[in-house]
A = this chain, B = another copy of it.
Amino acid sequence: MRIYLAGPDVFLPDAAAIAAAKKAICTRHGLEGVFPTDPVEDAAAEAATDRFMKVYLWNEAHIRSCDAMIANLTPFRGPSADAGTVFEVGFMRALGRPVMGYAHADANFRDRTLAFLGSAARRRDAPDEWEDAEGLHLEHFGLQDNLMIDGGILASGGRIVTRAVPAERRWSDLSAFEDCVAALAALHQN
């Protein structure tokens, strides 16, 4: 069972080491981890002239070749997960294959958004309802992220493992990731 390892881990200075560590965990659970930067042959990517388009098509080819996904949904430069990762979660959900997510966070989406907005957040004329400085509402379901992400993962048969870790381990801790691997391995055996 091939698992696409989605996440902003590709931007880490030690991305290769994280890739190797994630793959080793997958192997230990009888699964094969596929990292976005792994080599892949794809005719459309070969034909593309722009570097970004080659990278896009390589990633898409990897996702299509995988049976499931584990997405690192740790908040990235704002209240939500990395946009590239979120795109990939939506893509895999549409393919109908299971997606697991994990996030290193200590508050839910609404409360992270409130913290992000700070004094720019405004109360609405209803108990515990908020909007931003431009009047756009803050969704408030107690979820890990925007409801499309939580909903899509649940609809796929997966779930999100949220764990608070010390700030210095935000991008290196792999215990929640391993919980996702174990969940997919169990799914695979049943």
A residues bordering B, Cβ < 8 Å? 8, 11-13, 44, 50-53, 55-57, 59-60, 76-84, 86-95, 113, 116-117, 131-132, 134-139, 141, 143, 145-152, 154-155, 170-171
Contacts and interface: CB of A to CB of B under 8 A. Distances in A.
A45 to B, nearest CB: 10
B135 A13 contact: yes
B155 A82 contact: no
In the complex this chain forms, how many copies of it are found? 2
A52 B146 CA distance: 10
Given A89-B87, A141-B51, A155 B13 contact: no
B13 A148 contact: no
A80 B83 CA distance: 7
Contact of A87 (B86, B139, B171): B86
A149 B87 contact: yes
B154 A53 contact: yes
Nearest to A75: B78
Centre residue among A52, A84, A90, A143 by max chain B CB count within 10 A: A90
Contacts of A82: 146
Contacts of A56: 147-148, 150-152, 154-155
A142 to B, nearest CB: 9
B151 A53 contact: yes
A143 B81 contact: no
A71 B57 CA distance: 21
Given A55-B151, A92-B94, A83 B145 contact: yes
B84 A149 contact: yes
